[in-house]
């Protein structure tokens, strides 16, 4: 799956995958086309046959390190089928990285959401083929469609607006399946307990890293139920929960571009507008407003669109505040300068005043 301009060439034979700044992982890539008895060919055959309702047989495989792998190792796998077709797949190796992260305790969340919820071809996600536990590596392998293009960070704004519309479509689709979502224990719940937990983490981090700002933030975190009530009033849908531009691929071979949301390790159930404010974070105000308009346009008249004016501003402010507080929880880990922490606390006060 594409992510952005690669930071180096393709892997050679027996090249170990390296994550950015994380050293050599325990996954080794062999780019030889000779089939090895590791079960990958059979995994591809079964996955393609089940999804596409046809029988395929792998003649040869080539595997190389994905230059776009981030937290987890990943490979681009090229399969040559016996009838002459060539296909590329994205093989992701989910493992113990960031095991202490409170939202990454369920390691099979991503393959389960692909398997159980992402089978409809119209959804803006890569096609899912199969997943398995690899005893040798101690990782879960997830076999997905390879999307050969870059993420939103490297695209013009028109593709960001397309992504906002696709996000609205995804949220509306899963609003209609909210009962199924709520019955799944592997999905996170973005409820009052979740929100207060992150507010408490932010308060502790600011107290340690920028104590002069702690009292100001405390006026918000002690009354955080205002945020919880506002978001709880919104209809539940599937929330990606890490929807930064790097997790949105725009394949420009069609017009409009095909949008794919990737990396679903932290997904859950809650207010979909949390994804929108995450995606537009950092844009100039005018571009951000266009993102909001592009998102709400297909949702007007549905329960997912708060009434224009005060109710909509209030809900967006609550989402902006929740995401800002989430970032503040990492101010000490990221060793942010005091100026940035001050900026975020000030923004939090402004968002809180609008709720």
Separation of alpha carbons 150 and 128, rounded Å: 19
What pLDDT, on a 0 to 100 scale, did the predictor assign at position 108? 96
Rg value, the chain, Cα: 21
Q: In terms of Cα–Cα distance, which of 164, 186, 163 is closest to 109?
A: 186
- Burial of 84 per CB tally in 10 Å (0-12, 13-18, 19+): exposed
- Decide which of 118, 145, 172 is a domain's last residue: 145
Given a cut of 70, whether residue 32 has pLDDT beyond it is no
Residues 139 and 248 in one domain: no
Q: Is residue 278 part of a domain?
A: yes
Q: Is residue 105 part of a domain?
A: yes
Residue 5 resides in a domain: no
Q: What is the CATH number of the domain that holds 71?
A: 3.30.200
The whole-angstrom separation of Cα 58 and Cα 47 is 12
- Is 327 found in the same domain as 186? yes
| Segment 215-260, tens digit of pLDDT | 999 999 999 999 999 999 999 999 999 999 999 999 999 999 999 9
Q: Are both 137 and 158 inside the same structural domain?
A: no
- Does one domain contain both 233 and 113? no
CA distance 189 to 271: 10
pLDDT in tens, 125-179: 999 999 999 999 999 999 999 999 999 999 999 999 999 999 999 999 999 999 9
Distance CA 204, CA 331 (A): 10
pLDDT one-digit tens code per residue, 164-200: 999 999 999 999 999 999 999 999 999 999 999 999 9
Residue found by looking up tokens 């407003």 in the block? 289
Domain that holds residue 90: 15-145
Q: pLDDT tier at 37 (50, 70, 90 boundaries)? A: confident
* Helix, strand, coil share (%) of the chain residues, nearest 5: 40, 20, 40
Q: Which two tokens stand for residue 197?
A: 């937990």
CA angle 94, 194, 310 (to 5 degrees): 120
Q: Specify the number of domains making up the chain.
A: 2
Mean pLDDT of 284-303: 98
- To the nearest whole number, what is the mean pLDDT of the chain? 91
Q: Are residues 232 and 212 in the same domain?
A: yes
Read off the tokens for 354: 């609008």
Strand-pair partners of 188: 268
Q: Are 240 and 181 in contact (CB under 8 A)?
A: no
């Amino acid at each position: 799956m594409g992510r952005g301009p690669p930071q180096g060439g393709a892997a050679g034979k027996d090249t170990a995958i390296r994550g950015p700044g994380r050293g050599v992982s325990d996954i080794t890539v062999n780019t030889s086309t000779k089939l090895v008895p590791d079960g990958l060919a059979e995994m591809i055959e079964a996955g393609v046959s089940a999804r596409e309702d046809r029988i395929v047989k792998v003649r040869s495989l080539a595997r190389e390190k994905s230059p776009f792998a981030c937290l987890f190792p990943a490979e681009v796998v090229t399969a040559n089928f016996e009838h002459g077709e060539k296909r590329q797949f994205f093989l992701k190796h989910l493992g113990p990285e960031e095991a202490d992260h409170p939202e990454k305790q369920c390691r099979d969340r991503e393959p389960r959401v692909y398997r159980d919820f992402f089978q409809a071809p119209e959804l803006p996600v890569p096609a899912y083929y199969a997943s398995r536990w690899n005893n040798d590596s101690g990782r879960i392998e997830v076999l997905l469609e390879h999307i050969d293009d870059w993420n939103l960070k490297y695209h013009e704004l028109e593709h960001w607006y397309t992504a906002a519309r696709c996000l609205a479509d995804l949220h509306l689709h899963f609003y209609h399946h909210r009962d199924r979502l709520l019955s799944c224990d592997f999905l996170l719940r973005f409820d009052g307990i979740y929100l207060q937990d992150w507010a408490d983490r932010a308060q502790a981090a600011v107290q340690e890293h920028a104590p002069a700002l702690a009292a100001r933030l405390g006026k918000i975190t002690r009354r955080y139920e205002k945020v919880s009530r506002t978001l709880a009033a919104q209809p539940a849908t599937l929330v990606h929960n890490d929807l930064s531009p790097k997790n949105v691929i725009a394949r420009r071979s069609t017009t409009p571009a095909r949008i794919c949301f990737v990396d679903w390790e932290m997904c859950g159930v809650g207010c979909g507008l949390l994804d929108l404010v995450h995606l537009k974070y950092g844009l100039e105000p005018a571009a951000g407003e266009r993102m909001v308009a592009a998102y709400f346009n297909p949702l007007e008249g549905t329960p997912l669109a708060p009434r224009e004016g005060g109710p909509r501003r209030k809900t967006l402010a609550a989402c902006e505040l929740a995401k800002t507080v989430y970032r503040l929880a990492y101010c000490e880990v990221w060793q942010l300068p005091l100026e940035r922490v001050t900026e975020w606390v000030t923004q939090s006060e402004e968002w809180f005043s609008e709720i």
